[in-house]
Structure 1
Amino acid sequence: MSTPTLVSAPLRSHGSTPRAANRVQVISPELRIADNPAAAVLRAASTQGPISRDTTARTTGLSIATVNRQVAGLLGAGLLRERADLTASGAIGRPRVPFETNHEPYLTIGIHIGAVVTSITASDLRGRILGGVEIPTPRVHQDAALTAIARSARSFTTRWHRRSPLWVGIALGGRVDSATGIADHARLNWRGARVGAIVGEALGLPVSVAAHVEAMAAAELLLAPRNPQEAPAGTGLYFYARETAGIALTIDGRVHTPNNGPGSIVHLPTGSDAECECGHRGCLEATVSDRALLDRARSMGILTGPEPLAISSLYQAASSGSVAAHELLVERAKVLGRTVAMLRDLFNPDRVILGGQSFTEYPAAIPHVAEAFAQSSTLPRKDIRVSGFGNRVQEFAASVTSLSALYADPLPSMRRALG
């Protein structure tokens, strides 16, 4: 397993106790495509199953003997199941029996803690979301907020009485120490929040905690459909924008997680006159965030009514013919396009993926993102696209965080999950 992400100055919890830390298994997420044989066979089953051992050997590059050993081990652990009903007519011997992920008995719980909304989802072992709920992110003291979120997650888990929960994954913004599950989140006024300890103890499951944009980039690597022969080699830039903005880099099938924690693009200059909490004008998040757009829409008289306003009201107004609402969203799209172009020219990745509701919820703005990008970038066009996860990108970020340890090192992780 990879080295846990560390931070330059350890994030310290306030009021935590050694007893709570000892009870909870906080496991660093593995935001990468693992290359060990067991992981490769499980990945083949998840993405292509039901699949034969011969096909698995060709797809993974492993020998048939190695595939047979890994299949036997994964069957014994309950992660795979055989499909004797799909065996080709005339085939003799167990190696001819196709296998697939044993996805029906188990689930994992994913929690995305947003600045405004927290989503709680259940996923099967293939990374397919079974269902979910959303709750307002509690605006109370961090321990009370996390306790409330954990209580909601525990209640949600009881709906799936025919499945055994294996793991919980939490994705959130801010600065995250994945080794300890402790996070700082400026927008929520969290400092040294015991995210992993509080949620893990409440649910009684191993828990992994990740920075949410890095987790989104991992979802593109591990959960997005792709040709089995297509290797995610090279570099990628993932750009996210909704209530917050952030980026993550991927290098040869692994999300780059700096030792000092993820960088920030919150205060990149955009040239706008939007006033930021830092005291400057034109910072990226103060220009393009949902909250910033809602404040401007209200000040311009585009939206009226009691607080709190939802960004969906602005999208609805634009779709219903409001020129002013449309122009406000187009203005944001142009800022996003120019910012993505600047970052793309800086890093020159092989791929650029755009995620978040700022890109997916108002399709009429996408051509303006593309136009601003083309006018601002000086490099030849490469692979640039909007995430296929659409408006569920936060849910898949939490889902991949809950599955990453199982995907990276299946047998030890399964033993840990089952106690």
Structure 2
Amino acid sequence: MAERNKRTVRDLRRTNRAALLRHLYFEGPLSRQELGQGTGLSSGSVSNVAAELLAEGVLEEAGSVESDGGRPRTLLRVAPHSAYLIGVDVGETRVRVELFDLTLAEVARSELPLEDGGHDVTLVVRLIADGLREVLAGADEGPGVGADVGADVGGGPGADPLGRLLGMGVGVPGIAEQRPEGGALVHAQTIGWDAVPLEALLRAAAGLPREVPVLVDNGAKTLGQAEMWFGAGRGARDAVITLLGSGVGACVVTGGVPYGGAASSAGEWGHTVLNVRGRRCRCGALGCLEAYVGAGAVLERWREAGGSPLEGDEETALAGLLATEGEGVAAVERVLAETAEYLGAGLADLVNLFNPERIVLGGWAGLLLGPRLLPAVREATGAYALRYPAARTAIELGRLGPDAVTVGAATLPLLRFLDAGGSAPGVALSA
């Protein structure tokens, strides 16, 4: 009985810490009184939890505000440099690795092109490991970050480690199968990955200790979490965050929670069939939505219409399409009008299936095309969707820019940290 009570007290303490820390993270800086009002915790619980988190360095004081007839109230906030996070985006043309502080402010970044190597697993793993070493070694001097960081990730003997690394999140172009043993496997049919043990490969290549979480998920889902927390999805309970790049995906959020399905593969919106026996998709099937609105598909349709895409990666070529002038404008306008209609039809399926209050267009191609196509996309969605749910769905552009996937990837270990009430699930790498 004593042990049961002991566990109950420990669980209550962790729950109180998590409630206070999460509320302060998203709504702070706040006074202790405001924290009590926002979390429902008693003033005694707020004082005790705040004192613990201040002593641990997770929180810090952030000035004061006047109170009505009493002493000024001290404001509290999450201490940015009390911990650090890594976010990785395995994109279509590059691998992006970013180091963030606890408030997800960027500390350092590395962008390494995939070039002609494509998505060869060995190459991608090496680029991530190289990027990880680069952002750690290149971090500016600051609280908790040394110039020679990374002893435990290949920095060499004697290097000063990062102050406190909570973990690394990785967004990938495929399905991440979460396994209790052996780490995540990635199934990415469009790039030729079949049950790739990415987590295990990354740990071996980067020399990460087992205590540091490496969390892998689909890139559209990490983008979705970032937009729901900090961007265009914030405040919505039922939303769909879409990712348009070379690939096309979606993060479906119901009741404020991302929907994964039976095998974490929900959201493969790009591989819903738009046209039976239609254009060949990268996945091998015919008529997928991605074969019409993915960046490569848009460029291919432009080429068929007589256009001449610029040499280089797809981002350069798509930007060139949008900048076309003179005789080629008519062909571009036809391709863009078709793209808006295809995209609107795909969004109408999301409206009819999930009845979201908000749909967000994200991904690098979505952000490039969106400002030009958004009015036509909204019109096409309304034409193909049922009127009642369509009239109650807002369609907006993402707000976090090209870094949304890496920010979202970093939220994977951050979420664990917040749910644990500020107790790091990984390892404190500093003394």
TM-score (norm 1): 0.80
Match of 2:418 in 1: 407
Q: What is the aligned-residue identity percentage?
A: 23
- Choose which of 89, 97, 101 in structure 2 pairs with 1:120: 97
- Choose which of 53, 60, 64 in structure 2 pairs with 1:86: 64
Match of 2:290 in 1: 285
Distance (whole Å) between structure 2 residues aligned to residue 325 and residue 336 of structure 1: 16
- Choose which of 88, 100, 116 in structure 1 pairs with 2:77: 100
Match of 1:370 in 2: 378
Give yes or no for contact 1:303–1:314 (8 Å, CA) kept in 2.
no
- Secondary structure, in 3 states, of the residue corresponding to 2:378? helix
Match of 1:335 in 2: 342
| Structure 1 runs of 4+ with >6 Å offset | none
Give yes or no for contact 2:86–2:167 (8 Å, CA) kept in 1.
yes
Give yes or no for contact 1:109–1:157 (8 Å, CA) kept in 2.
no
Give yes or no for contact 2:88–2:409 (8 Å, CA) kept in 1.
yes
Which amino acid in structure 1 is aligned with residue 64 of structure 2? L
Which amino acid in structure 1 is aligned with residue 424 of structure 2? S
Q: Does 1:270 align with 2:249?
A: no
Which amino acid in structure 2 is aligned with residue 386 of structure 1? L
Give yes or no for contact 2:344–2:378 (8 Å, CA) kept in 1.
yes
- Could you report, residue by residue, the CA deviation over 1:197-250 in whole angstroms, capped at 9, with x for unpaired residues? 2334516332111122222222233333898xx5x54x2222222211122222
Query: Could you tell me how far 1:92 is from its partner in structure 2?
Result: 5.2
- Secondary structure, in 3 states, of the residue corresponding to 1:56? helix
Query: Could you tell me how far 1:185 is from its partner in structure 2?
Result: 1.7
Structure 1's 134 and 248: CA in aligned 2 closer, same or farther, altered over 3 A? same
- Greater RCO, CA 8 A, separation 6+: 1
- Could you report, residue by residue, the CA deviation over 1:385-414 in whole angstroms, capped at 9, with x for unpaired residues? 222223332232223224221122233325
Match of 1:360 in 2: 367
- Choose which of 383, 399, 411 in structure 2 pairs with 1:388: 399
Give yes or no for contact 1:127–1:403 (8 Å, CA) kept in 2.
no
- Could you report, residue by residue, the CA deviation over 1:132-166 in whole angstroms, capped at 9, with x for unpaired residues? 33222353641343123212222122111532333
Match of 1:31 in 2: none
Match of 1:241 in 2: 244
- Choose which of 296, 307, 318 in structure 2 pairs with 1:314: 318
Report the more deviating stretch, 137-146 or 284-293: 137-146
Report the more deviating stretch, 408-417 or 290-299: 408-417
Q: Which structure has the greater CA radius of gyration? A: 2
Structure 2 residue runs without a partner (length 5+): 1-13, 146-162
Give yes or no for contact 1:37–1:70 (8 Å, CA) kept in 2.
yes
Report the more deviating stretch, 353-362 or 150-159: 353-362
Distance (whole Å) between structure 1 residues aligned to residue 414 and residue 55 of structure 2: 19
- Secondary structure, in 3 states, of the residue corresponding to 2:99? strand
Query: Could you tell me how far 1:169 is from its partner in structure 2?
Result: 0.8
Query: Could you tell me how far 1:304 is from its partner in structure 2?
Result: 4.7
Structure 1's 169 and 267: CA in aligned 2 closer, same or farther, altered over 3 A? closer
Superposed, 1:157-306 pairs within 5 Å as: 157-160=136-139, 161-162=141-142, 163=145, 164=163, 165-179=165-179, 180-201=183-204, 202=206, 204=208, 205-224=212-231, 232-233=236-237, 235-263=238-266, 264-271=268-275, 273-277=278-282, 280-304=285-309, 306=311
Structure 1 residue runs without a partner (length 5+): 1-34
Structure 1's 309 and 139: CA in aligned 2 closer, same or farther, altered over 3 A? closer
Query: Could you tell me how far 1:110 is from its partner in structure 2?
Result: 0.3
Match of 1:350 in 2: 357
- Could you report, residue by residue, the CA deviation over 1:92-128 in whole angstroms, capped at 9, with x for unpaired residues? 59xx421111103432110011233221122221233
Match of 2:149 in 1: none
- Secondary structure, in 3 states, of the residue corresponding to 1:262? coil
Match of 2:112 in 1: 135
Superposed, 1:28-107 pairs within 5 Å as: 36-83=15-62, 85-86=63-64, 88=66, 96-107=73-84
Give yes or no for contact 2:166–2:414 (8 Å, CA) kept in 1.
no
Give yes or no for contact 1:214–1:257 (8 Å, CA) kept in 2.
no
Which amino acid in structure 2 is aligned with residue 150 of structure 1? A
TM-score (norm 2): 0.78
Distance (whole Å) between structure 2 residues aligned to residue 36 and residue 278 of structure 1: 44
Match of 1:13 in 2: none
Report the more deviating stretch, 175-184 or 272-281: 272-281
Structure 1's 77 and 342: CA in aligned 2 closer, same or farther, altered over 3 A? same
Which amino acid in structure 1 is aligned with residue 378 of structure 2? A
Query: Could you tell me how far 1:256 is from its partner in structure 2?
Result: 1.8
Superposed CA RMSD in Å reads 2.9
- Could you report, residue by residue, the CA deviation over 1:276-327 in whole angstroms, capped at 9, with x for unpaired residues? 3566542211111112222333343322554x44333333332343332243
